[in-house]
A and B are shown apart, each in its own frame.
Chain A
Amino acid sequence: MARKAWFRLAVGAAWLVALAPLGAHHSISAEFDTSKPVTFTGTVVKVEWTNPHIYTHIETTDAEGKTVVYRVEGGPPNSLYRQGWRKDTLKAGDTVTVEGVRAKIPTSMNIGVATITTEAGERIFGTAGRGGRGR
């Protein structure tokens, strides 16, 4: 149990290392409600490979059984590229699990402070990278 907690700590930490430089231009605490964690499994719709944050659109069903598409915030694409990630690392139709927090605005589908894990257990877009520093 303790090891799982530390693992989650490390994963969340890695995510926030990627996000920390962006904290002032886009305050995490201003947009996201860190008291509202969310976990879901869904299907990748598309990846917006844009600055300052990439957004991975993931379709799932909510608690009421309705189909929804969340917009999962990631780090800056230039940093991700240098870590070995690419805009086609995730493809439409891939199944992933997301852990993050909901936006404060109820109508926003943005998810922040998020980790994305594939069915194979790989953490996608984490700062550990995928090797091949930038190229």
Chain B
Amino acid sequence: MRTRTFLVVIPLVLLMAVSLVAQRGGRGGRGASAEPAGPVPRLASGRPDLSGHWTNPYTPDMARGAVDPATREPLMFARKGDALPDAKAPASGGARTYDLPYTEWGVRQWENYDPVNDGDYTGNCLPFGMSRSINSPHGLQIVHGQDALAILFEQNTWFHWVPLDPAFAWPEDLPESWNGISRGHWEGDTLVVETTRFNGYTKLDTAGHPHSRQLTLVNRFTRLDSNTMEHTVTVTDPRAYTRPWMNVRTWRIKPSTDVIMEYSCDENNLQGIVDGTIKLWTPPEDIDE
């Protein structure tokens, strides 16, 4: 009896703890730099240089800490916190609530997300998507030049390239994709990265908060000193949410002894798909509804 209680309670307690730690901007001492903070490093142009090996806070649930983008106050909306008795069970246990300002389509997606029975696309080692990659727990490397910035995610060894040259144009007929396409521009010393053209197959976070193909994700990066960067991410998706909402996070430079490493998800997940412990992903049929 005690063992059973132990095994049921732990997932809830720990996932909450991980989420809370992540929302406070770091995983304890492992993310802290050993070097004392110095001034913001600059490119030759004078713009802040965002290069570095960063601890981006693990954020499995973006609804926790969702704020109004205009005021940064906790997001308020009708039905906030209401129970959703018809919702499928989350993988972490507990029950889903009305935790973001959903449209009818959005809440339907939230209620029906069923990772326990349907699996999750990430189990197939498919791209997490821009939002969930930035939420991931393993750190990332930013390589920043005058005309472009590359984000190298340790999570599954993915990259995302962000052109900064105003003259650059993505082809108009480029297909929608898992991670979307981005453009960056400066607003003072803040780099604003706008990402669109998503295929709609991903979720915003581990909890499974939905988004549609209409998503515009805006990530803003403001380097505060050599060790610290403020990061905000704003979700605007009129199909899924009635209004934009935002997360505010603090990134920290990793110690120089911590190097970015390869991460091959397929190494053992492939066997899980073959033997049926991980469900094979198929594209959702109602993506355009």
Instruction: Please provide the chain A residues from 76 to 118 with a CB less than 8 Å away from any CB of chain B in the complex.
Output: 76, 78-79, 81-83, 101, 103, 105, 108, 110, 113
A26-B278 contact, Cβ under 8 Å, with A133-B257, A133-B258, A135-B257: yes
A81 to B257, CA, bound (A): 12
The residues of B that contact A79 with a CB separation of less than 8 Å are: 137-138
Interface contacts beyond A27-B115, A79-B137: sample of 6 additional A-B pairs, CB < 8 Å, sorted by A: A9-B6, A16-B11, A20-B18, A37-B3, A37-B7, A82-B258
Q: Please name the residue on chain B nearest to A35 by beta carbon.
A: B4
Residues in A neighbouring B272, C-beta threshold 8 A: 26, 31
CB <8 Å contact, A21 and B58: yes
A17 and B14 contact, CB distance less than 8 A = yes
Specify which of B7, B120, B125 is in contact with A27 (CB 8 Å cutoff): B120
* A34 / chain B contacts, CB cutoff of 8 Å: 4, 7-8
Q: Is B123 an interface residue (CB 8 A)?
A: yes
* Distance in Å: Cβ of B255 to nearest Cβ of chain A: 7
A104 CB, min distance to chain B CBs, angstroms: 8
Contacting residues, chain B, for A83 (C-beta < 8 A): 30
Chain A nearest Cβ from B44, distance in angstroms = 32
Q: Chain A 49-68, CB within 8 Å of chain B: the 1/0 string?
A: 01111010000000000000
Q: Which residues of B contact A51 (CB under 8 A)?
A: 263-265, 267-268
Q: Could you tell me if B18 and A17 are in contact, using CB atoms closer than 8 angstroms?
A: yes
Binding site for A on B (CB under 8 A): 2-4, 6-11, 13-15, 17-18, 29-30, 58, 60, 91-93, 115-117, 119-120, 122-123, 125, 136-138, 154, 203, 206-208, 255, 257-259, 261, 263-265, 267-269, 272, 275-279
Given contacts A52-B265, A82-B258, A134-B259, contact A27 B119 (CB under 8 A): yes
Q: Indicate if A28 sits at the interface (CB-CB under 8 A).
A: yes
Q: Which 7 A-B pairs have the closest CB atoms?
A: A25-B122, A50-B267, A27-B91, A16-B14, A21-B137, A24-B206, A34-B7
Most B CB atoms within 10 A — which of A35, A50, A53? Answer: A50
Q: How near does chain B come to A48, taking the closest CB pair, in angstroms? A: 7
What B residues does A26 contact at CB under 8 A? 123, 269, 272, 278
Given A23-B91, A27-B115, A34-B8, are A55 and B60 also a contact pair (CB < 8 Å)?
no
Q: Is the pair A17, B17 in contact by a Cβ cutoff of 8 Å?
A: yes
List of B residues within 8 angstroms of A110 by Cβ? 277
- Bitwise, A1-23 to B at CB < 8 A (1) or not (0) is 00001001100110011001101
Q: Is the CB of A28 within 8 A of B119?
A: no
Which B residues touch A101, using CB under 8 A? 7
CB proximity of B38 to chain A, nearest CB, Å? 21
Are B15 and A23 within 8 A (Cβ)? yes
Assess whether A8 is in contact with B261, with CB atoms less than 8 Å apart. no
Docked pose: A103 CA to B92 CA in angstroms = 17
Cα(A82)–Cα(B116), bound, Å: 30
Choose among A5, A12, A20, A78 the residue that contacts B263 (Cβ–Cβ < 8 A).
Answer: A78
With A and B bound together, what is the CA distance between A55 and B269 in angstroms?
12
CB distance from A30 to the nearest CB of B (A): 5
